[in-house]
Amino acid sequence: MNIAQEALTDLTAKIQISIDKNDYEKEVNDSLKSYQRKASMPGFRPGKVPFGLVKKMYGKAILADKVNQLVSENLNNYIVEQKLAILGYPMPLTGTEAFDEADQREQFNFDFELALMPAFELNLQEKVVNYIRIEAAAEDVQKAIDNILEGNPIITQPDTIGADDRVSVVLSEADDKGEEIEDGFGKELTFHMDQIKSAEAREQLIGKEVGAEFIFNFAKALESDEAAAKILELKEDQQHIATADFNMIIDEVIHEEKAELNEDLFEKIFPGAEIKDEQAFREKIKQEIEKQYESESDRYFFTKAVDQLIETFDAPLPDDFLKRWLVYNSEGKLNQETVEAEYGTKYANSIKWQIIEAELLKKNENLKVKEAEVRERMKSYLFANLGMSNLDEEMRKRMDSVVDSLLKNKEEHQRLHNELFEQKLAAYLKEQMTLQEETMTYTDFVTKVNEENNNKKETSDE
């Protein structure tokens, strides 16, 4: 076997691999003998088909498989051994010999064309990128506080029903005399006094003590048979019960009042933060909101950083080769005309970014995503609410089994890998590049992003 490299241009080269008969003959014959032992053909006993006949039937296919395997392995090994930094994967040149009349050949020659990675300088510190810090507006803070107050009411259990309380009751279906029906419909349910539409029914309920027992009609109280059927959770064949009277026992009354901005609430929302007054509480809320906004700021920054790195990329590309390479690797989805039309605005930028990514990875190996990191990201999505440190060995094994199963999906695995890589890369670029900071509210940020996206779309449409 012989491998030779020839420069075609400054950025492209040809590799020729010559395969001699003695490189593959033994493996091909061994495979044919294996076929012979298994072959079954009319007129011959199993395993007794003549070798020449087996070779005639399967020889070309086995030869092609073995030679292609040898070529692929040695091409890959050559690229690694010679430390060739290449773009994409080598492309077979037209005119490569086929396997016709293989028996008469002593040698097969395979030619590949490849593109070499251009040399270029990547000085991140010289790149100035806009970074927007999103500031929580006063109304954002107030909205968050309103939600906290609403979601953390002061709850008491009074002895009597008030106009704005929730009431838990035990129901038993009653006849027209107010007596419980044996084997009749029964249920425990909770309703809010706001649901009671009838003034008469509200008057009947307000002031009733826990433990009180009396006849009650939900259809009349809610002023709707349908609403009664819904609150009673009646099945299709039970709809007639909606209008029935019920013997009702008040089991519990729950009263909620709006929470107060005091130290008890501050400690509940931010345990251990030792917040003593409303101003400090508002400032903490503001910080938390801005932390959530930071991920959007980082995504915006990353997009801008990538755009700038591509725009300022000044190394030459082997455009002619890359256009042919794109068509060849598209499996018929692209033609030369389409590639020519979109190369400068679409494909060239994608290739430039691949080159830049490779250079960044060379500068910082910590950007590489490890398999353990992919697994941990999957675990965080699936089991975020579990206290990981308190799990026993059996539970950890079950979790690992679930993760193993899901990560067999190559698309999902790649999605997590890309997500982690982008996060690492964004953090690295943010640390290395020069940030030109700007502060604005979230509303202004959204407006700015939308305007830029619209302008970008209009430019691309032109």
Supply the pLDDT for residue 98: 56
- In the chain, the domains with their CATH numbers are 2-116 (3.30.70.1050), 154-257 (3.10.50.30)
At 406, which helix (H) or strand (E)?
A: helix 393-407
- The Cα–Cα gap between 460 and 462 comes to 5
Please work out, in degrees rounded to the nearest 5, the angle formed at the alpha carbon of residue 407 by the alpha carbons of 404 and 410: 145
d(CA 85, CA 355): 10
Q: Of 284, 57, 292, 320, whose CA–CA distance to 148 is shortest?
A: 284
pLDDT at 32: 79
Tally of CA atoms within 13 A in the half-sphere of 83 that contains its CB: 0
Distance between CA atoms of residues 362 and 358, nearest Å: 6
pLDDT on residue 57: 76
Secondary structure of 187-250 in HEC code, one letter for each residue: EEEEEEHHHCCCHHHHHHHCCCECCCEEEEEHHHHHCCHHHHHHHCCCCHHHHHHHHCEEEEEE
Identify the pLDDT of residue 462: 56
Q: Mean pLDDT, 10 residues at a time, over the chain (462 residues)?
A: 92 92 83 79 76 77 84 92 91 65 69 92 92 95 94 94 96 91 94 96 96 96 96 94 95 94 94 94 96 93 94 93 92 91 91 92 91 91 68 80 91 94 94 95 94 79 58
How many whole angstroms separate alpha carbon 322 and alpha carbon 90? 11
Q: Is the dihedral of CA 382, 384, 388, 391 positive or negative?
A: negative
Give me the pLDDT at residue 26, please: 86
Structure tokens at 88: 């994409």
CB 232 within 8 A of CB 186: no
Q: How far apart are CA 376 and CA 388, in angstroms?
A: 11
Q: 207 in the Ramachandran plot: left (φ > 0), alpha (ψ -120 to 50) or beta? A: left
What token pair was written down for 277? Answer: 């007054």
